[in-house]
A and B are shown apart, each in its own frame.
Chain A
């Protein structure tokens, strides 16, 4: 197969393809480059030069100031995101297991209704959610925000796992039942170990959704418990004093880095997991 790739490296059509791809890459990367360059400039440098110019002196002062203002909120986001992702993924796996392997009367209808959750816009559930959180005594707490994210994410994680588990032959569960395994043993010992690609999809999907969420964060958290997205907004939209673009850019980078890291580490599972069960492997 390598000979096919190496065949005629300089043919015009191949050059055209690569040129187009490079151009597309450049277009997508320019904003990131501008952000990175600006974050390392001094405020004077930013006002004096143009967007794409190289910094006169590289300085991390913007990053240090940014971390001072949003660093605390970064940990808030971690405290919200990690439990919410883990809980919603585990519950989604359990839901998917029941809906595919232990069908009950009306389970198809139940699954259909659950799917509606995937189409609900955030805004629709703001009032009912805040009412519920108030009743539970969880208003303005990190726990409350975790709860909202778990409930909202369940529709998606259930869908992912259910669609993966329906592709697994029933005989596997039957064999385990005859071997003497119970409901949770079958789930924990046989199905979960097979679900690594789907777990990765859920982790990436839920992490991105919850880390990047702004609306729930701004509505259901206040003051010191706010997530980094809200803190970033407060920092950037401040109208007092001179605009420190280097700090803004560095803070935006800090806010965006974790999702980037998750994609790089788990990305290869993402496409594999999304297409799992689509073709017989």
Chain B
């Protein structure tokens, strides 16, 4: 196992073409699980291919255990990869698929047999060793693909959207298995996904990417509680964070956000670090559905009454939609407390938990309370 550090990694496919990756700076310690997450076309798979050596970088350094590997060929980097399509060799059986990388590295036969047996036992695919990939189900193929990576005991494991070809139920099962495997083996892993739930559940560190730029790099909790900008806030979380457009008012040295449901108004006091930051700006208030306090009586927070437009029971929770400042706002409630459509509901907002974003640039405005841990993002604006 080894640490991995990306320093100012840059990728461009040709002069005159736009940058595919811009100034990527990431670092994970040995044994950590790094998630690269973002919408399609954000550069996350390109970045993974650059780490693997399947594509060259235009600038910067890729350090494994402190030494730069960016000039090495893929086979010398000691990195294994699990592909989205699994990429099992169709003419070889499972045993030969797992053993291929070891054979290429001229490992003695008895050592190969030993490794194949170890991996097969670990992944519970011992009974499949003589089958061809075409005779396996999707989940079994997935295991073999992981086995092929594990057999070589490389320094770093790369997973390229490994679960996206599985059906929903199997995906959840395999997600847990990957997590379990990582807890047991403590392998340094880079995992690409577009699924924010996989990102939250699996990662020790998460890098949210968009347009070839790392928007935020931190632990899942930091990403969730303290998003660096509107994009990160909207991408992570399901149901997504509510974004309420508003103008702030200044009253007696205090900035106030005005929430208007049509039947009532509420003035939400904001804690602003920099007084000038909000002057005359259109801002967006971000609040997660579970952070709106509803149906629990008066807890002494600023409140507004609003009429329920739509109710969506999901089982464990019921999502209640109301309208504030002409924007649909989702609240997450316990099912037994859920109101009927048309009823009025009191929504309470905790000023310490709401986030403020600039409506134009989408950047987070310095409105977070001081006791919150500082955002460690290496956000680089354009």
Partners in one complex: yes
Q: Which residues of A contact B (CB under 8 A)?
A: 169, 171-172, 174-182, 185, 189-190, 193-194
Residues of B with C-beta under 8 A to A171: 83-85, 87
B226 CB to nearest chain A CB (Å): 36
Contact call A178/B52, Cβ cutoff below 8 A:
yes
| B80 CB contacts on chain A under 8 angstroms | 178
Would you list 19 pairs from A and B whose C-beta atoms are within 8 A, ordered by A residue?
A: A171-B83, A171-B87, A174-B49, A174-B52, A174-B54, A174-B81, A174-B87, A175-B83, A176-B89, A177-B74, A178-B74, A178-B79, A179-B148, A179-B152, A180-B101, A180-B104, A182-B75, A190-B89, A194-B91
Contacts of A189 in B (CB 8 A): 89, 100
Knowing A174-B54, A175-B81, say if A190 contacts B87 (CB, 8 Å). Answer: no
Q: Which residue in chain A gives the minimum CB-CB distance to B76?
A: A180
**A178 engages B81 (CB within 8 Å):** yes
A sample of 19 more A-B contacts (CB under 8 A), given A171-B87, A179-B101, A179-B148, is A172-B87, A172-B89, A174-B49, A174-B52, A174-B54, A174-B83, A175-B83, A175-B89, A176-B89, A177-B54, A177-B75, A178-B53, A178-B54, A178-B75, A178-B81, A190-B89, A193-B91, A194-B90, A194-B91
Would you call B111 an interface residue if the criterion is a C-beta within 8 Å of the partner chain's C-beta atoms?
no
Cβ of B105 under 8 Å from chain A:
yes
Q: Write out the residue numbers on chain B whose beta carbons fall within 8 Å of the beta carbon of A180.
A: 75, 101, 104-105
Contact A190 B54 (CB under 8 A): no
Min C-beta distance of A255 to chain B, whole Å: 37
A-B interface contact total, Cβ < 8 Å: 57
B291-312 at interface with A (beta carbon < 8 Å): none
The 8 closest A-B pairs by CB, nearest first: A180-B104, A179-B101, A171-B87, A193-B91, A175-B87, A180-B75, A171-B83, A177-B74
Closest chain A residue to B73, Cβ basis: A177
CA distance A194 to B152 in the complex (A): 25
CA of A36 to CA of B81 in the docked complex: distance in angstroms?
A: 62
Question: Which A residues touch B74, using CB under 8 A?
Answer: 174, 177-178
CB distance from B293 to the nearest CB of A (A): 49
- Number of residues in B with C-beta < 8 Å to the partner? 23
Closest to B101 in A: A179
A190-B81 contact in complex given A178-B52, A180-B104, A185-B104, C-beta closer than 8 Å = no
Across the interface, which residues of A come within 8 angstroms of B85, CB to CB?
169, 171
Nearest-Cβ distance from residue B115 to partner chain A, whole angstroms? 13
Q: Quick one: which of A172, A178, A182 has the most chain B CB within 10 A?
A: A178
Min Cβ gap B121→A in Å is 21
Kindly identify which residue among B49, B84, B100 contacts A179, using a CB–CB cutoff of 8 Å: B100
- Complex-state Cα separation, A80 to B101, whole angstroms: 41
Residue of A nearest to B154 (CB): A178
Whole-angstrom distance between the Cβ of A200 and the nearest chain B Cβ: 15
Contacts of B89 in A (CB 8 A): 172, 175-176, 189-190
The smallest beta-carbon distance between B26 and chain A, in angstroms, is: 21
Q: Annotate B84-115 by CB proximity to A: 1 below 8 A, 0 otherwise.
A: 11010111000000001100110000000000
Which of A169, A176, A180, A185 has the largest number of chain B CB atoms within 10 A? A180
Residues 54-93 (chain B) with a chain A CB within 8 angstroms: 54, 73-75, 79-81, 83-85, 87, 89-91
For A177, the chain B residues whose CB sits under 8 A away are 54, 73-75
A172 and B83 alpha carbons, distance in the complex (Å): 9
Q: Which residues of B contact A185 (CB under 8 A)?
A: 104
Residues of A within 8 A of B83 (CB): 171, 174-175
A207 CA to B290 CA in the complex, in Å? 73
**Least Cβ–Cβ distance between A181 and chain B, in angstroms:** 5
Give A171 to B54 CA distance when docked, in angstroms: 10
Contacts of B73 in A (CB 8 A): 177
Q: Which residues does chain B contribute within 8 Å of A176, judged by CB atoms?
A: 89, 100
Among B327-367, those with CB < 8 Å from A are none
How near does chain B come to A234, taking the closest CB pair, in angstroms? Answer: 47
Contact yes or no, A179 B104, CB < 8 A: yes
Q: Smallest CB-CB separation from B81: which chain A residue?
A: A178
How near does chain A come to B236, taking the closest CB pair, in angstroms? 28
CB-CB < 8 A to A175: which residues of B?
A: 81, 83, 87, 89, 148
Alpha-carbon separation in the docked complex, A124 to B84 (Å): 49
In the assembled complex, how far is the CB of residue A280 from the closest CB belonging to chain B, in whole angstroms? 12
Q: Within the assembled complex, what's the spacing in Å between the Cα atoms of A80 and B54?
A: 43
In this complex, what residue of A is CB-closest to B54?
Answer: A174
A181 to chain B: which residues have CB within 8 Å?
A: 75, 100, 104
What's the least CB distance linking B112 to chain A, in Å? 13
Q: Which residues of A contact B105 (CB under 8 A)?
A: 180
Residues of chain B with a CB closer than 8 A to A182's CB: 75
* Least distance between A185 CB and chain B CB atoms (Å): 7
B256 to chain A, nearest CB (A): 55
Which B residue sits closest to A173, measured CB to CB? B87
Q: Please, how many angstroms separate the alpha-carbon atoms of A177 and B73 in the complex?
A: 9
Q: CA separation between A193 and B84, bound complex, in Å?
A: 23
Task: Tell me the complex Cα distance, A193–B81, Å.
Answer: 23
Most buried by B among A177, A182, A190: A177
Residue of A nearest to B89 (CB): A190
Q: Decide if B87 touches A169 in the complex (CB within 8 Å).
A: yes
Q: Give bound CA distance, A216 to B68, whole Å.
A: 58
